[in-house]
Amino acid sequence: MPTLPSTTFRDHRAVTGNDVKIIVSPTRVAVEFGKTIDPQTVFVVQIWQDGKMLTEQPLEARNNFSSSVPPDVDMRTCGVRVCYPTGIVVAELDVIEDPHPFMRPRDEQVHITENYVSVPPALTITDEVNSVWTLGLVMAPQNKSPQGEFAFNVLRNGFDTGEVASRIERRNGKVRIFTVEGWKKWTGALFF
C-alpha cells in the first residue's frame, strides 16, 4: 500500500461527540467515555478506510479503549466510528485533509529556492534547512504595512513567526522580509 506524504493528511486528530472522545495518531486509536455515559453500555469501535471497514471491536463504556494499529494501516487515511451494536453512530472522526499542504516542509528536501526570488509573486520559498516560507492569510492593519503596501503575517512551515511583511525574499542564501521598520533578515531563530 503506498504511503501518502505527511503534507496531505493530518497526523493527530480528535473529536468529542455525545460525551465520547475519539483520538487518532499515526499508530494508535483511543476512545474515552465521559461521565454521562452508562458504564455498562456496549459500543462498537470501527476503523474505516476508503469506504471499507477494516476492523470492528466491541467494548463496554467502563473501559476506555486504546489500541495500536497494524503497521500496514496508515491512520492518516482512516476514519473511526463509535456506535451502538445496532449501527447507530454516537461519535465519528473522519479523515481531515490539510487545506494548505504547500505551507508545510516536504518529507525530503527536493530543492532550495534559487536566489533573488520574492513572495509575491512566488507562492513559497524553501531554504537550506527545508523551511517553507510564505505570506499568511491575515492582513495587517494599515499602520503595520510598509509604505502603505498590503502586508500579511509571515509563515514559516505554516506557523506564524509573529512578523508582518509585504514581501519575503531570498537573497544571497538568506531569507529576509520587508516590514514597516524596513528589511529584516532571518537569523535562524528570529528576524533582526
CB 2 within 8 A of CB 50: no
Task: Enumerate the domain spans of the chain.
Answer: 13-93, 101-185
pLDDT at 168: 96
* More confident position, 109 or 12: 12
pLDDT at 110: 63
**Structure confidence at residue 159 as a pLDDT band (50, 70, 90):** confident
CATH number of 13-93: 2.60.40.10
Summarised one tens digit per residue, pLDDT across range 27-82 is 888 899 988 888 899 999 998 888 888 888 898 888 888 888 777 888 878 889 99
Mean pLDDT of 163-171: 94
Mean pLDDT of 74-100: 82
Summarised one tens digit per residue, pLDDT across range 122-131 is 999 998 888 8
* pLDDT at 107 > cutoff 70: no
pLDDT at 108: 62
Q: Read off the C-alpha cell for 188.
A: 535562524
**Structure confidence at residue 101 as a pLDDT band (50, 70, 90):** low
pLDDT at 105: 63
pLDDT at 13: 80
pLDDT at 3: 41
Tell me whether residue 96 is exposed, middle or buried, using C-beta atoms within 10 angstroms of its C-beta: 0 to 12, 13 to 18, 19 or more.
middle
Long-range contacts of 126-131 (CB under 8 A, 24+ apart): 127/170, 127/175, 127/186, 128/173, 130/105, 130/106, 131/105, 131/156, 131/157, 131/175
